[in-house]
Each structure stands twice: as structure tokens, then as C-alpha cells.
Amino acid sequence: MASPAPLVASISHQMLALQTLQLLQQEWGSGDRPGARRNSHDLDQVSAAPAHCSSPLRARAGLGREEGSRGQGLRNGELREQASSSEVGVVPGAKGGAELLPCPQGRGPCTLARMAVRSALARVVDSTSELVSVEQTLLSPLLQERSFPIHLKDSVEFRNICSHLALQIEGQQFDRDLNAAHQCLKTIVKKLIQSLANLPSDAHVVACASLRQILQNLPDI
């Protein structure tokens, strides 16, 4: 029986990347400029979080104290005004399961470019979550029966790319890092499919089909 350690380590790195991506998704859906409330303390809290899939709201739990202190300086009614003036941006062709958060008007226009970035980020978040689910529910039991290669370094690179992405403010570097995360995630999925293709058992068929579905949800950007 093959050791599950490489797969467990890969999942752990992917979960840390997912938590970072969920934090970014929350910021792109909030009224603040992306990166405005992010600092090294926030990112340390994400990196130190337990290795499990958490919701975006839990990923931002560590920001509560900072936002609470800053909230005293806000004008009365500003938050209510922002909430009432927000609208949901819809991007044609966006993945059905990718929920786009409200795009506020109070902090500037919701341009097509910003909506496209939010859509691309949502696809990466959803696909990462789906990948972790497939690895835990299908690949982990399969690995106990059959040995197949796990490319741990790709998951480490994916986590590092997402960490670097979280340090960027919107712009060309942010777009490049987001595209790099997108491509790295596709590489992880493709290599898993290749690893499973040589297995004689029919048990890998369902796993391969699930992985191919993830690839379909990650078109080139």
C-alpha cells in the first residue's frame, strides 16, 4: 500500500492556498480597494489557520478587531449608504457555481475589467475547492489500493503563488499572479489525470471524470 503522506501534504498546501484565495475574493467583493485592509498580520493569520476548508467569512475572521477600531472613524450612515448603493455584477460566461459578490458603486465604477477579474478569481476558488474534495473523497481511498505518483512540488508552488497574489494590489502584477495560479491549478489537475490513467482498476474512472470536469471549468484566460 502506498504512503498517503504526499497526497495529505498536497491537500494541506492547497487548503492554505484556498483560504488565501477566499480572503481575496471577499476583498474584491467588499467596498474597499483590494489590498487596502490587508497587511502582513492578516496574511499570517491565514497561513496559520487550521488545514481545512473554511468559508470566506471565516477566512476574514481575523480582520474583525482591525475593522472594529477603524469603524469608529466612519461617518454615521456611511456603511448603510454603501450597502444600499451596491449592485451585483454579472459576467457572461461565468461558471454557474461561482457566486459573484456585490460590486459597490460608492468606491468607483464597476468596470468590465474588474468584473472579469472577479469572475476569474471565483473560478479559481471554486475549482480549488472541488479539487480538494475530489482528492479527499476519491483519490485518498484509491491511493490505499493502488500506488500512483503525486507531484507535491506543484501544490507547494500553487500555495506560494496565491500567497504572492495576496500581497498585490489590483493591476498588471495582480493579473499575472492570478493567471499563474490559474495555470498552476490546471497543471496539478492534468498531472493527476496522467497519474491515474495507467491504473488497471476501474475505480479511477470516476476520479478522472471529476478531474476533467474541473479542467472544463478552468478555460484559458
- Domain ranges in the chain are 1-28+111-220
What does each C-alpha distance from 83 to 10, 52, 59, 122 come to in angstroms?
Answer: 39, 31, 21, 21
For residues 7 and 147, what is the distance between their CA atoms, to the nearest angstrom? 11
> Mind listing the pLDDT tens digit for each residue in 93-117?
444 444 444 454 433 456 787 888 8
pLDDT band at 76 (very low <50, low <70, confident <90, very high): very low
d(CA 178, CA 18): 13
| pTM for this entry | 0.67
Residue pair 200/171 in contact by the 8 Å Cβ criterion: no
pLDDT tens digits, one per residue of 14-58: 999 999 999 999 887 754 445 544 444 444 444 444 444 343 433
The type of residue at 207 is: A
Whole-angstrom Cα distance, residue 8 to residue 143?
11
Is the Cβ–Cβ distance between 141 and 154 less than 8 Å?
A: no
